[in-house]
Amino acid sequence: MNISGNRRQFLGMVGAAGAGMAVALRKAAGASRVLDSVPNDKPALLGGTPVHKGGWPQWPEWRQTWEPSVLDVLRSGKWYRGGGGHVADFEAAYARLIGVKRCLATASGTTALMVSLHAMDVDAGDEVIVSPFTFIATYNAILMGRALPVFADTDPETMTMDPASIESRITERTRAVMPVHIYGLPCDMDPIVAVSRKHQLAVIEDACQAWLAEYKGRKCGALGDLGCFSFQESKHLPSGEGGAITGNSDQLVDRCNAFHNCGRGVGTFKGPKPYFSRGGNYRMQHFQAVMLLQQIDKLTQDTVRRRENADHLSMNLKQIPGIQPVRLPENSRAVWHLYPFRYDATHFNGLPRERFIKALSAEGVPCSAGYQEQYFDGLLDEACESRGFKRLFSAQRLKAYRDSLKELKGNRQVCTTTVAMTQNHLLAERADINHIVEAIRKIQVHSADLAQA
């Protein structure tokens, strides 16, 4: 389907929106299945009938066939990971899946990040260059080690770390770069790794939303020194809570293992006495591991379906003036933990994004604005004003740091224009996916009414 030849015509028409416009729109756009079915009805927000009435697949999903192994763990009385068992089986299976030599299971994605930062020798008073467009746990993992999260800017087209913005942020304190494959969108890793290697910085991938995402033939989580994953309940591979660290270096993963297990030496990382090294308890339980082991095939199948539906959505949505699907780096494949697009209100009679979100939700397509400029929410002020940070960083550095948050123009653009749907939409039938496109077209046709009401 290609209606791009009619784009200008279409644009002219939506400026003077009205209910009768849908008919003209159909004629102008030619034979397009999704477009042909644009309802002439009033927007649901103004009392019309919602385009989509059937709901969306529930998440998380579980299967009765999983019950015996969960019960086996219960009855075994072996719940703590100790050595071997289900957790070790999961680690081996997940390492194979991601295409790395080693995997260490952890209690959560946050603890995977904290452990990795420690293993890469990020210490109190250091700086880590990180994506600002992420779940808050990414910032917190750095702050908990009393290091400073220094934000690279976000490329508005890819919604991930802009590699060109890294180098100017490097200081003598910088130890690591932490790209985030947010929403399952792979970062453009080649230039990120190149600039990190040039300055001898560690690369820790936050792949907490990117199970099976690919960049140039390799999986996210296998592209830096260490990769971190989350298996929290909303995730594509869920076990309530859970996480993993992936990597190809025995030394690094053994170091992670020791730190996640009260500092106990293991493999290549051993000392003269049992407690020769610091650590915490960031271990996974066997209950989590059996849940995860049984979902690996499902993850692979679900990923295929999400990709097919996301590709179909992008192909259709990019035909709508004012809707810009995300651009993926060359030769990469996303896994769509959320499906985001950028919204340009000027093509919708100035309908504010928040009202667009309400209107789309009313049409039966729940959506949200996604991550906001959370670096202004207070946690960084609180950190910078804490006794510890004041001891570790000069007043001058902390002031420059706080001032620099205002410079994240690309990120602001993403935060103020994005609309996103959760991954479970992408597991629906194709007819339901088409409803998303229809609903957005309907809102565009009626955007003047919606903007005024």
Ligand X SMILES: Cc1ncc(COP(=O)(O)O)c(C=O)c1O
Residues near ligand X (CB under 6 A) are 108-110, 134-135, 137-138, 180, 182, 206, 208-209, 230, 232, 243
Q: Greatest CA span in the chain, whole angstroms?
A: 81
For ligand X, which is the closer residue by CB, 229 or 269?
Answer: 229
Instruction: Please choose, from the candidates 7, 423, 20, the residue with its C-alpha nearest in 3D space to the C-alpha of residue 235.
Output: 423
In the complex, the smallest distance separating the C-beta of residue 182 from ligand X, rounded to whole angstroms, is: 6
Q: Which residue is nearest to ligand X (CB)?
A: 109
For ligand X, which is the closer residue by CB, 207 or 437?
Answer: 207
Backbone φ and ψ of 187, nearest 5°: -70, 160
Query: Which residue(s) pair with 229 in the sheet?
Result: 244
374-334-298 Cα angle (round to 5): 110
Say what angle helices 67-76 and 286-293 make with each other, to 10 degrees: 160
At 220, which amino acid appears?
A: C
In the complex, the smallest distance separating the C-beta of residue 295 from ligand X, rounded to whole angstroms, is: 15
In the complex, the smallest distance separating the C-beta of residue 241 from ligand X, rounded to whole angstroms, is: 6
In the complex, the smallest distance separating the C-beta of residue 130 from ligand X, rounded to whole angstroms, is: 10
For ligand X, which is the closer residue by CB, 134 or 444?
Answer: 134
For ligand X, which is the closer residue by CB, 93 or 136?
Answer: 136
Do residues 245 and 116 lie in contact, with contact meaning Cβ atoms separated by under 8 Å?
A: yes
In the complex, the smallest distance separating the C-beta of residue 210 from ligand X, rounded to whole angstroms, is: 8
Q: Which two tokens stand for residue 375?
A: 């670096």
In the complex, the smallest distance separating the C-beta of residue 157 from ligand X, rounded to whole angstroms, is: 20
CA distances from 152 to 133, 280, 391, 430 (A): 10, 30, 25, 37
Residue the block writes with tokens 């808050």 = 136
Whole-angstrom distance, CA of residue 7 vs CA of residue 52: 26
In the complex, the smallest distance separating the C-beta of residue 272 from ligand X, rounded to whole angstroms, is: 34
For ligand X, which is the closer residue by CB, 126 or 206?
Answer: 206
For ligand X, which is the closer residue by CB, 73 or 137?
Answer: 137
Say what angle helices 7-15 and 21-29 make with each other, to 10 degrees: 170
For ligand X, which is the closer residue by CB, 288 or 434?
Answer: 288
